[in-house]
Structure 1
């Protein structure tokens, strides 16, 4: 018995997930008559985390729709900013270490696992803590237990940061989180942190902050200008309250 055929078209931003020769259009796609539309879309390489509206013959359907022969399917990308059912909290895999530090620099709650704990454990943590899983691993993003997920499209940290900020529009509160552990920072007296700072730093700086969780101490070091540039760029493009300036 012949398998049903449907026609399928993808939003331009989803073309990255399919072979170049098919990006101009899929034309007929054979289905087995029982698999859901969500399964069909995943089978061609597109993670459902990146899928917005699904339109079949002009009407919107859910991922559980069973495609019938002759149907014309249009797969849209996610809307930006993408609404979340809870606070914008993230979890990043081991390959996104620079991105996690930049998110924390902006005061965004960003969890991170290093060393790699495996896809199953990452997905379980995403679900338990209601965090959006950020990854370039399509297999990880296909795990059903994820609370939510998002594919990181670029290899470049600056582009990765812009992608997350434009997609989820999280509130920004720069200089309020520890870039090492994600804990919250508090102002600290020089005398209270003197044993934890580099020799000579106490003579050069007066403003300090300390992580409430790991005790890491921050001050305006030589690297501060580079971090200030990242913060200023994010605030200029995406907005948010200006926080404390310890780094």
Structure 2
């Protein structure tokens, strides 16, 4: 769905947590980004004026964000796409590292892969289908929930 430029790495992570297929590359030049977006049928998300201009010339869909805060940037993206509400869904959340899909995994399969305190307090775990990173509901989910509440108030 999205190809996020190097200036907006945190936005790529937030979009992944919100369930959106969001590729991110910090080592591609503008020509490569535009070509990849066109080839993979992705929407470029950028703050870069030159990249925006180049994408428009090549008729590649893009969202040019101008806000400096993450909530404001996500609001711009949502409004551009006419999304009216954001929700957190563990069934849709993607890996923040590689954009892979997360699959539910039994607690007994992660005993050597997560801290003991997490095992004692948590029953639900997910594993990235691509990089094998293990996820669980921790404080980052509470922070994301606060982020989504702020986002929905502005939509």
Q: Same-fold call, TM > 0.5?
A: yes
Q: TM (normalized to structure 2)?
A: 0.84
Residues 63 and 80 of structure 2 are in contact (CA less than 8 Å); yes or no, is this contact kept in structure 1?
no
Size of the aligned set, in residue pairs, is 149
Q: Structure 2: where are the runs of 5+ without partners?
A: none
Hey, what's the Cα distance between the residues in 2 that align with 1:162 and 1:204? 34
Alignment partner, residue 153 of structure 1: 66
**Structure with the greater relative contact order (CA < 8 A, sep ≥ 6): 1 or 2?**
2
> Which one of 11, 14, 18 corresponds to residue 106 of structure 1?
18
Is 2:104 the partner of 1:187?
A: yes
The answer to which structure has the higher strand fraction is 1
Alignment partner, residue 164 of structure 1: 77
Is 2:142 the partner of 1:225?
A: yes
Deviation at 1:172, TM superposition (A): 5.4
Deviation at 1:100, TM superposition (A): 1.1
Alignment partner, residue 46 of structure 2: 135
Is 2:118 the partner of 1:201?
A: yes
Structure (1 or 2) with the larger CA radius of gyration = 1
Deviation at 1:169, TM superposition (A): 3.1
Within 5 Å, give how 1:16-165 maps onto structure 2. Answer: 89-114=1-26, 116-143=27-54, 144-145=57-58, 147-165=60-78
Hey, what's the Cα distance between the residues in 1 that align with 2:153 and 2:147? 10
When residues 136 and 236 of structure 1 are mapped into structure 2, their CA distance, relative to the original with a 3 A threshold, is closer
Hey, what's the Cα distance between the residues in 1 that align with 2:152 and 2:112? 34
The answer to which structure has the higher helix fraction is 2
Deviation at 1:222, TM superposition (A): 2.5
Hey, what's the Cα distance between the residues in 1 that align with 2:79 and 2:42? 17
